[in-house]
Structure 1
């Protein structure tokens, strides 16, 4: 399968190779929705050609990811191989919530939703 240019690959295919999305169709959907930027410009076509040194900005879960393409993959290999395809430039979360600094969800002695009595206790303890 030949690529359009030397050292170029479809954006949706690269995102899938680098394991940012579980399927190629999910990657294409995110690009089509206009959620991906290449070198600061919004891209809406999954077939947009990307190469080495391009910077991609896109949302992944609750984090905005910024990555620089280091290499183009030839296959969707194991995670260590995929991590070698990019350099993560995502800024450290200063004021945003991350997995580490997110407050824990309140725990209840029982399972599931709190009862009305538990709810009143929680409301009384609020600052």
Structure 2
């Protein structure tokens, strides 16, 4: 793949598949969800090799180190050669999902919870979150 000397951060994040569209990457930069050294990054900022960016996308937080510049969007297998994901294990979504609250579901057709059921649900929630 041809590498480029100058490349915008929004185009780079789109090319390495961090965002589905370039518009989403631009909006994330404008909203302050892309940071370099703790500072918000404008979408037009030039990317340099070995820079480390903090990218927030919903509940997912990633730390990406630039290892190469990629002008056009490529398949995922090729894209991983142009960045290094150095996100600490504590910040990954897989780690966080282990600590989520259990999802309380009722059987379909069981109707509304009775007063007794409601008290049990509230008690369970209080025990879990406190």
Shorter-chain TM-score: which interval?
Answer: 0.7 to 0.9
Q: How many angstroms does 1:65 deviate by?
A: 1.2
Segments of structure 1 that go 5 or more residues without pairing to the other structure are: 1-5
Q: How many angstroms does 1:32 deviate by?
A: 1.1
Which secondary structure does the structure 2 equivalent of 1:29 belong to?
helix
**Mapped contact 2:12–2:71 kept (Cα < 8 A):** no
Point out which structure has higher relative CO (alpha carbons under 8 A, 6+ apart). Answer: 2
The structure with more helix, counted as a fraction of residues: 2
RMSD: 2.5
Per-residue CA deviations over 1:64-97 (Å, capped at 9, x if unaligned) read: 2111001111321111111221111111117x96
Residues of 2 paired with 1:20 and 1:121: CA distance?
A: 42
The structure with more strand, counted as a fraction of residues: 1
1:56 aligns with 2:57: no
The 4+ residue runs of structure 1 with deviation greater than 4 A are none
TM-score of the two chains, using structure 1 as the length reference: 0.78
**Mapped contact 1:39–1:54 kept (Cα < 8 A):** no
1:108 aligns with 2:106: yes
Cα gap change, 1:110/1:120 in structure 2, threshold over 3 Å: closer, same or farther?
Answer: farther
Q: What pairs with 1:40-119 in structure 2 (closer than 5 Å)?
A: 40-43=38-41, 45-93=42-90, 98-110=96-108, 115-117=112-114, 118-119=117-118
Q: How many angstroms does 1:124 deviate by?
A: 4.8
TM-score of the two chains, using structure 2 as the length reference: 0.77
